[in-house]
Structure 1
Amino acid sequence: MFFIFFGLILSSIGIASSHVISRNQLNYNDRIINFETVGGIADNSSLDTCWANSHLLNQTFASMQNGDTLLIPYNKTFWLMGGIYARGLVNVTIQIDGILKFSDNQTVWPRDPQTQQVHECFFFEQLSYVTFTSSLPEGKKGIIDGSGAHWWGLVEYLLIAENRPRLISIYNSTNLLVENILLKNSPYWTFLANDIANLEIRHTDVDARVNPDIHYHDHNELQAFNTDGFDVAGTNVWIHDCNIWNDDDCIAVKEQSSTSIHSPCSENMLFERINASGVGLTIGSIGPSASHTCVRNITFRDSTMYNTFKGIYLKSRPGALGHTGEITNVTYQNILINNASQWSIWIGPQQAGYKDACSLLWPFVPGTHCPIPVGITWNNIILRNITINGPQLSPGVILGNSTNPMLNILFDNVLVTKPGILPWGTHYYACEGVEGIAQGNTEPPPPCFKRKPF
């Protein structure tokens, strides 16, 4: 029934949902496949076991039928190698009561024979009415562990760059539920849903940290970069009641690919009751395209960010001359950001290490640059009831292109207590190329905004 409830929730906030039917209208076989019973080897981390379990899991996915449940039994750890793949699963449940843990052996990790690109840990495509869940009591979760620490770090990045496996990647799928799972220590992005329609993620946590006892993002912790939490591109997405700790985007709304079949835009998404710490509750990065990229009707609300690196983060990137895109109708509401170590609010060009991006060292290192892409249209971005306590730097950055300025940017009750003075001093924000309004109890207001009375 969650699909019907999901549609009602999205409709209640003005986010349209396509017609969905509940799973109890579909046929069931009610067959439970216990992974250990059919031959899975528990609590053995040898490479032979990793390969054997992976081969069996792929066979099991290939054999699943309408109504089947795959059970990973409680209090057991099943070690795997990457390259787990399933296609075309319909009306099945994957119930993880135990632990699925991946090998960290990069030498033998499966790769594409031509490109040498690593295979994902899990890759799913063309799923329909599939549930990922656990049946454990409240306070306990099934675990998928990517053993990411051996893939992280500056030296590792210099050697392998971004050729690392995502923990879960799902493509071209509909009507999915993910619940009661801990996604731990992904080697790369934790969860990517691309070209998705009707996805709910609830009570599912992301944890990717170098030191499990550290609760702030220092230089050592930031070695776990590129460990995005939930990255989503598609339509009708609801993520709620989740905890995220990582060292890249906590949640990122991505653009749809030009080949997407469900919707040309990433749109109609609600993220609420999220506890997040990392590089932001994020839109992007969004780049213009020949087919017109579009991200619209996105809401983040009722969420907290403690000791985070970035807070609210909307980012564009350059594109070819004449290509276009839009970021429109985005709302952040009732967000608490405490002790941000970098920017509490960033609306503008992506900070990154590639050519023509805003430098990661800007504005602190002389000679670094922050070019502002022209091809993205920004319109109707609302920050309402945002509380920022004790940021270590100036509150933020709002940078639009002067030839295509941001329009209708509203700060309504955006209150910053004890704002840092670096690098903008009593201006508090870098602010240009924006038509913005500050109203309510917005203090301090961005200097290029118009002040609207109460």
Structure 2
Amino acid sequence: MFVLTLALIFCSFGCLSSFVINHAHFIHNNRIINFETVGGIADNSSLDVCWANAYLLNQTFASLQSGDTLLIPPDRTFWLMGGIYARGLVNVTIQIDGILKFSDNQTVWPRDPQTQQVHECFYFEQINYVKFTSSLPGGKKGIIDGSGAKWWGLVEYLLIGENRPRLLSIYNSTNLLVENILLKNSPYWTFLANDIANLEIRYMDVDARVRPDVQYHDHNELQAFNTDGFDVAGKNVWIHDCNIWNDDDCIAVKEQSSSSFQSSCSENMLFERINASGVGLTIGSIGPSASHTCVRNITFRDCTMYNTFKGIYLKSRPGLPGHTGEITNVTYENILINNASQWSIWIGPQQAGYKEACSLLWPFVPKTPCPVPIGITWNTIVLRNITLNGPQLSPGVILGNSSNPMLNILFDNVYVNKPGLLPWGTKYYACEGVEGIAEGNTQPPPPCFKRKSI
């Protein structure tokens, strides 16, 4: 049986400093269902085949028994229509050695008949002890390709907004392993694990680019926005040894609350040895709620971000009066950020286009607003051994609400080499509503922080 054993050791700040998952064996009944053998049609992108393969894959998922392996064979591309759904899988392996590629035809994409909301590419719920994997040799990976380019861009956003399918979405599930797969060109968020417990993601790649070989984020590339990498909400999550290139949050920890199934807080998560470039290693956005939203005990460590847009990004959003939430015990440690084209460090309100958000134009267009929500309580945020090389703008933004200020914010050895001067000049940071301490070789220190001598 596939068992996850979690060993959690907490550091002096309450953050996660060690996270171990030991994998035992699946129960196998030696039944391997080869998708091509049962009727899957390879290497044909016609709409009729997309629909036929999608129907067959849904039927195959519905027939899986404990111990089964569903095999997508190598050297084959199976085109699909969206709306692949499975519920209640237990002790199953999904082995993707070939390519699963989705149609980009928005006109016929399946939708909810009442709301017209598009169906996800893949949607799984209430699954337990499920492994998503590939067994290809030599570091090769199976591929799930969302054919996202026709869903991207400013014109498409004005037409359809965020009514776009996520590539792989998992809800209310436990004991999951996801490994050795390339998730490519998602129309919307790449991977969402929402309300889950005990998840390991390893040796995965995320790639969402307008131009396949581009190595920077310009206005053209940012047309692939909303292509989040790994978005997770729940408890006991370990993501490690992954490569992410996209044009939204590379990793985003989403909130849980007392109304969630698997935990009342998104907690006990470790993200390490990740190469990422996009809109940040992110907490949020986190908004207050009547059931108290919560994120705590989160660690990012030993990560590298080259030519990224944003770097370290923690963001809150507004809520109703009297609603509450918290972001507590978050640590970023041993992070290298090279040549960030926007903010290397942002701790504060979400920048977005909706009302009451911090304007996307702030602070570069005069009189644009950047209100700071009052409903989120921030406590114990640690940045330790962070190196920023050549940020194109001033190093960052740390904005709390003066009526509910951020507490116990620590910059320990946060070193900026050749900081940009726009827009904050020699202050280097926008900094207010924060009780912070700068120690070690933190240069330059945020101006509102107290300096702790070595």
Q: Which residue of 2 aligns with 1:306?
A: 306
Partner of 1:121: 121
CA distance in 1, matches of 2:324, 2:426: 35
- 2:386·2:414 contact (CA, 8 Å) conserved in 1? yes
For the residue of structure 2 that corresponds to 1:222, the secondary structure is helix
The 5-angstrom pairing of residues 394-413 of structure 1 reads 394-413=394-413
CA distances 1:405-426 after superposition (whole Å, capped 9, x unpaired): 0000000000000000000000
Corresponding residue for 1:140?
A: 140
Query: Which structure 2 residues correspond to residues 432-443 of structure 1 after superposition, within 5 A?
Result: 432-443=432-443
Residue type at the aligned position of 2:208: A
Q: Does 2:2 correspond to 1:7?
A: no
- Render the CA deviation track for 1:214-266: whole Å, top value 9, x for unaligned: 10000000000000000000000000000000000000000125532110100
SS where residue 113 of structure 2 aligns?
coil
1:318 aligns with 2:313: no
CA contact (8 A) 1:16 1:268 kept: no
Are 1:195 and 2:195 matched, yes or no? yes
1:222 aligns with 2:244: no
CA contact (8 A) 1:386 1:414 kept: yes
Partner of 1:239: 239
Matched, 1:349 2:349: yes
- Aligned residue identity for 2:237: V
Question: Aligned runs of 1:240-255 on 2, under 5 Å?
Answer: 240-255=240-255
1:7 is paired with a residue whose SS is strand
Counterpart in 2 of 1:91?
91
Contact 1:303 1:335 in 2 (8 A): yes
Amino acid at match of 1:7: L
Counterpart residue identity of residue 218, structure 2: D
2:39 corresponding residue in structure 1: 39
One-letter amino acid matched to 1:343: W
- For residues 259 and 62 of structure 1, what CA distance do their matches in structure 2 show? 29
Quickly say closer, same or farther: Cα 1:386–1:17, change in 2 above 3 A.
closer
Q: Structure 1 residue 172: deviation in Å?
A: 0.4
- Which runs of no fewer than 5 residues in structure 1 stay unpaired? none
Query: Percent identity of the aligned residues?
Result: 85
Amino acid at match of 1:291: S
Report the TM-score when normalising by structure 1: 0.97
Alignment of 1:33-432 (within 5 A): 33-256=33-256, 259-432=259-432
Taking structure 1 as reference, are residues 370 and 124 closer, same or farther at Cα in structure 2, changes over 3 Å only?
same
Q: Do the aligned partners of residues 98 and 197 (structure 1) sit closer, same or farther apart at CA in structure 2, a change above 3 Å counting?
A: same
How far apart, in 2, do the equivalents of 1:16 and 1:291 lie?
29
- Write the distance in 2 (CA, Å) between the matches of 1:405 and 1:388: 26
Task: Tell me which amino acid in the other structure corresponds to 1:124.
Answer: F
- Number of residue pairs the alignment of both structures matches: 451
* TM-score of the aligned structures, taking structure 2 as reference length: 0.97
For 1:251 and 1:44, the matched residues in 2 are separated by 34
Given that 1:23 and 1:129 are in contact with CA atoms closer than 8 Å, whether structure 2 keeps it comes out as no
Match of 2:28 in 1: 28
Q: CA RMSD in A?
A: 1.7
Structure 2: distance between partners of 1:431 and 1:122: 42
CA distance in 1, matches of 2:176, 2:187: 24
Give the distance between the partners of 2:21 and 2:292, measured in 1 at CA: 28
Shift of residue 383, structure 1, vs aligned partner: 0.1
SS of residue in 1 equivalent to 2:367: coil
